[in-house]
Amino acid sequence: MAGQTTPRTADLPIATTTPYVDGFVIAVPRDRVEDYERIAREAAAVWREHGALRVVEAVADDVPRGELTSFPRAVQATEDETVIFSWISYESRAARDEVNAKVMADPRLKEHMNDVPFDPRRMIFGGFRTIVEL
């Protein structure tokens, strides 16, 4: 395989039926994890109601602070914070765009937008086209 390259995923055609995932990593104060979980459960129900296939919120359990890179370093987590890793699955990117437009317009989430128990400036997020799912 020497000398062979593989195409970047951004260079590949986007099929409208390719499963799509939005991913998020945030730092939440340890004493606010229950607050975050309550808001996340409410938000997940709204996302599912509007068409998301799956919503997962996971709190750090075995996440070491690396010397150079790590989840805690990526979100500048302090000693009194833990990391939350989340993802939302959709049928396709088009479906994600439709779902997110409905979610952002949903009045049930507006009350939480200014009172989230984390610093949104340190949130890492992005949309990903699925290439392997077993």
For residue 33, what is the domain's CATH number?
3.30.70.100
Domain contains 64: yes
Domain contains 99: yes
Mind giving me the DSSP string for the chain? -TT-----GGGSPPPTTS-EEEEEEEEEEGGGHHHHHHHHHHHHHHHHHTT-SEEEEEE-SS----SS--HHHHTT--TTEEEEEEEEEES-HHHHHHHHHHHHH-HHHHTTTT--SS-GGG-EEEEEE-S---
Q: For position 96, what pLDDT does the model report? A: 98
Domain range for 33 is: 17-71+86-129
Domain contains 10: no
Q: For position 40, what pLDDT does the model report? A: 96
Q: Which two tokens stand for residue 100?
A: 């997110």
Domain contains 61: yes
Domain contains 101: yes
Q: Are 27 and 124 in contact (CB under 8 A)?
A: no
Q: Which residues contact 109 (CB under 8 A, 6 or more apart)?
A: 42, 43, 46, 103
- The count of domains in the chain is 1
d(CA 85, CA 35) in angstroms, rounded, equals 16
Please list the rounded mean pLDDT of every run of 10 residues in the chain (134 residues): 52 68 98 96 97 98 96 97 98 97 92 87 97 90
* 27: nearest Cα among 125, 127, 120: 120
Domain contains 81: no
Give this prediction's pTM. 0.84
